[in-house]
Amino acid sequence: MQIENKVVIITGASEGIGAACAAEFARCGAKLSLTARSEDGLRKAAASAGAPDALMTPGDITDDAHRRSLVERTLERFGSIDILINNAGIGIYVPAWRVPMEEARHLMELNFFAPLALTQMVVPHMRERRSGMIVNVGSIAGKVTLPWMTLYSVSKYALGSLTEGLRMELRRDNIRTMIVCPGYVKTAFQQHVRAGQAPERVIKARRFAIEPAQCATSIRRGVERNARTVVAPPASWLLVVAARVFPSIVEARLAAMNGTK
Residue 192: per-residue pLDDT? 84
Residue tagged active-site, from 93, 152, 157, 184 = 152
CA nearest to 11, candidates 192, 150, 134: 134
Look at domain 7-236 and name its CATH class.
alpha beta
Q: pLDDT 10s per residue in the chain (261 long)?
A: 999 999 999 999 999 999 999 999 999 999 999 999 999 999 999 999 999 999 999 999 999 999 999 999 999 999 999 999 999 999 999 999 999 999 999 999 999 999 999 999 999 999 999 999 999 999 999 999 999 999 999 999 999 999 999 999 999 999 999 999 999 898 988 888 888 888 888 888 777 789 999 999 999 999 999 999 999 999 999 999 999 999 999 999 999 999 854
- Locate the domains of the chain by residue range: 7-236
Cα dihedral 136/212/152/247 (nearest 10): 90
Contacting residues for 95 by C-beta, under 8 A, at least 6 apart: 150
| 184 is annotated as an active-site residue | no
140-191 tens-digit pLDDT = 999 999 999 999 999 999 999 999 999 999 999 999 999 999 998 989 888 8
d(CA 213, CA 210): 8
